[in-house]
Structure 1
């Protein structure tokens, strides 16, 4: 059997979009629920506040908001989208997948639609998947969304997790291009450490070994990011931005230092958004683009890592 590639030579991101719930939860407010202080939280994870969804606000609701913004900014119509990917690890129920409902509510008729769970690396995995499917000819235009309601899996009496996780969604529209605008995705996993960040079962909350994750992330992720730069043909000093998963401000800064891109703006959305898992990278980039802090057409490095322990990185040309 002879198979010819029918897709374009590359793909690119047309637009990003982000959404955060309205409710702001500050460190001072958290200190009334659990034994902590604003200084303790800022010194350990760098967070000042986070957004928390209302009980009735769902992952689908947030994904629709972020996806709708990205779609509107892309210049495409709902009818132009033929694949929707929702990356999430905080699903309210195992089925149905969120992506078909998100697509329907956005007016996208009969697309391919599926959910993807690579935890905090989910958006980077989704972007790599979209790039491959566009270039293969399996899809023309893809809406990739990271959406999380982490608050429903947090034990609000556990100081090690309740100060970190938050809710939100971020999205990107990917289309074909005559040259690569999304570099090769470098991905992998360290399954031998999978027990360091888990939800044991449907009646359990998130638990983590924060120190083990800190050591792994600060020691293992920068080489992955540098390999993504090498495969994309972009030197670190050419990057205008680095958008790591917003896990912990100390981790973000340690990875950025190890990458060695002094001219790059490092996304630190965690300070006011918390850790939104698969939503964190597109949410951070959407905010920076909204604030006109990033130039169109320049290269940015995306680096996702989290439970699994799964990781992925790619260089993208900014819309």
Structure 2
């Protein structure tokens, strides 16, 4: 049994998106909307849509393979795989088990997490706690969703928002004598507002009826996000011992550009880069936080070792916030 460790750190991030780009102008030929309408209300300009034969497991594997390669770890070192998703079609085996098989990982613990758009932050925190408790040393954490399978393409209030994709991170144990608080994934601040959980739903499909479709009370979600989440994000900074003005970036769930900008202002991270991957990728649910951070790192907008606030939120109404140091 491995001994508990003082902290964990990120080794690498990567992402995968489908090839097909669906612009607002093309959407306007499918549903009663326009580029101006979508930009002004949501902030999305384009999104990626997976093909009928491209599954959540396919996208997860694409992101995971790149993350493992960037981390420079051997497959045998990965002893935990956690996938956050709410759109996997198959009930079992888990997406995590499929990814592990495809990557040739010999014997990791595998399971999926469903916390919808907060899923990646839940999965990252669960892996962090498992490593700190000595249950493993190296974890592969993935957020992936194929929202296009569950959208009503005649409902302009929802179909214009979403895209498909996956993001992955490799997390490893810090050394007991060499690690510092600055190396660690910070403590999570998480929870939910279950009494309002019905504001976002995706039901089970009927064998004889129509497919299950995503529904949300947009106004309820918007008001909750802009009134309750910023104090929780600041609390995560305080628990990590990082002043908000020292944050290098703020990466929230990419739900709506107005929510993103409102949260950034309320948090007070005046020196931080604010991720807006929503503009080119849409809302990718559990993939949105790791994908947005991966792109910031690829573009060199956040330096290695810099503190970044992650804030996921979504159905349930669930939330999770933590500060991480960039690889």
CA distance in 1, matches of 2:25, 2:147: 20
Counterpart for residue 310 of structure 2: 302
Counterpart for residue 197 of structure 1: 200
Counterpart for residue 236 of structure 2: 228
Residue 201 of structure 1, CA deviation: 2.3
Q: What is the aligned length?
A: 316
RMSD, aligned CA: 1.0
Counterpart for residue 115 of structure 2: 118
Answer yes or no: is 1:256 the counterpart of 2:264: yes
Q: SS at 1:263's partner residue?
A: coil
Counterpart for residue 208 of structure 2: none
Answer yes or no: is 1:76 the counterpart of 2:73: yes
Counterpart for residue 58 of structure 2: 61
CA distance in 2, matches of 1:301, 1:283: 14
Q: SS at 2:231's partner residue?
A: helix
Deviations 1:100-123 (A, max 9, x none): 110110111121000000000000
Q: SS at 1:144's partner residue?
A: strand
Contact 1:11 1:179 in 2 (8 A): no
Residue 5 of structure 1, CA deviation: 8.2
Counterpart for residue 175 of structure 1: 172
Residue 7 of structure 1, CA deviation: 2.0
Counterpart for residue 86 of structure 2: 89
CA distance in 1, matches of 2:71, 2:204: 39
Deviations 1:169-220 (A, max 9, x none): 0000000112341000000000011111101322320011101100000111
Contact 2:2 2:136 in 1 (8 A): no
Answer yes or no: is 1:101 the counterpart of 2:82: no
Q: SS at 1:168's partner residue?
A: strand
Counterpart for residue 9 of structure 1: 6
Deviations 1:39-69 (A, max 9, x none): 0000000000000000000111100010011
Q: SS at 1:204's partner residue?
A: coil
Q: SS at 1:139's partner residue?
A: coil
CA distance in 2, matches of 1:272, 1:285: 14
Counterpart for residue 138 of structure 2: 141
Any stretches of 5+ residues in structure 2 without a counterpart?
Answer: 206-210
Answer yes or no: is 1:49 the counterpart of 2:46: yes
TM norm structure 1: 0.98
Any stretches of 5+ residues in structure 1 without a counterpart?
Answer: none
CA distance in 2, matches of 1:198, 1:240: 34
